[in-house]
Amino acid sequence: MNHTFYDSHIHLTDTQYDSFLPSILATLKGMRIKACSVTVDISTASKALRLFGGKDANNIVYNFVGIHPQYAYENISSFEDMVTSNINNIDGIGEIGLDPIYYDGTKNTQNIQNQVFNKMLTLAETYEKPVSIHSRQSLDNILNVLSTYNLKKACLHWFDGSPQQLEKSLSMGLYVSYGPSLVYSRKKQVLVRSTDEGKILVETDGPVSYPSCFKNIITLPTSVLMSVIRSMSIVLSKSPKDMADKLEENSVMFFD
């Protein structure tokens, strides 16, 4: 199959990849895989601009930068300046979002997360960039916020909402991505069957580790992405070629 495959969400700036990143990039190119690199804070965003800001990387890596809700206390003005001065080397904004797991028990953390999320969305809207969104335990709030913006494209990465939330997300024109847990999670398989095939993306979220069949390997698109695509083809009763065709078409629409 002469396809280009897409990993729509991976943390290539994570230190777990540092010692062999050149090999990863070479293998991605050899396997015709493009990867969307996302960041979580100012440090990883700065690192991404150093690593993936050049023209060579653009053939393989989509360079997304963002402040994850876990790091909402970072200097948002500094991040905004970084984005503004490097906008031609930035393909999208992410990983951004909301997550009550990181609340400290006061309203302050929640307010700061909301402020940072809105700043990130404003940057995406201003510069017409797609966004990759973290929505753990916060999907209803995120959908409400997104409805107030005019975004180019938005993807709810690692979708884990209810069927009702999925229906609302799709009605808003959002993309949703599924990762390695699709291989063994019945819940994810049910969600995929209910998803508009034109709005599905796939991801690894590497280097996040997974239980079950991926327990002892470093999560990389070169090692697990094909398993996700194969499992999705089975769940949707499509041939692997037709599934790959559809995912390539969707990814081109989202990224390019």
Q: Scanning the structure block, which residue is given the tokens 């100012």?
A: 42
Helix axes 139-146, 163-171, angle to 10 degrees: 10
Give the range of the structural domain holding residue 193, as residue numbers without chain letter. Answer: 5-255
Q: Which amino acid is at 198?
A: G
How many domains, the chain?
Answer: 1
For residue 97, what is the enclosing H or E element? strand 92-97
Task: Provide the H-helix boundaries in the chain.
Answer: 21-30, 42-52, 55-58, 76-85, 107-127, 139-146, 163-171, 186-193, 221-235, 240-255
Give the type of residue at 248: E
CB 222 within 8 A of CB 31: yes
Tens-binned pLDDT, residue by residue, of the chain (256 aa): 578 999 999 999 999 999 999 999 999 999 999 999 999 999 999 999 999 987 666 689 999 999 999 999 999 999 999 999 999 999 999 999 999 999 987 778 899 999 999 999 999 999 999 999 999 999 999 999 999 999 999 999 999 999 999 999 999 999 999 999 999 999 999 999 999 999 999 999 999 887 777 677 788 888 899 999 999 999 999 999 999 999 999 999 999 8
CATH code of the domain covering residue 113: 3.20.20.140
Residues 6+ apart with CB under 8 A from 149: 121, 122, 124, 125
Burial call 22-33: b when 16+ CB within 10 Å, e when fewer: eebbeebeeeeb
Whether the model clears a pTM of 0.85, i.e. scores above it, the answer is yes
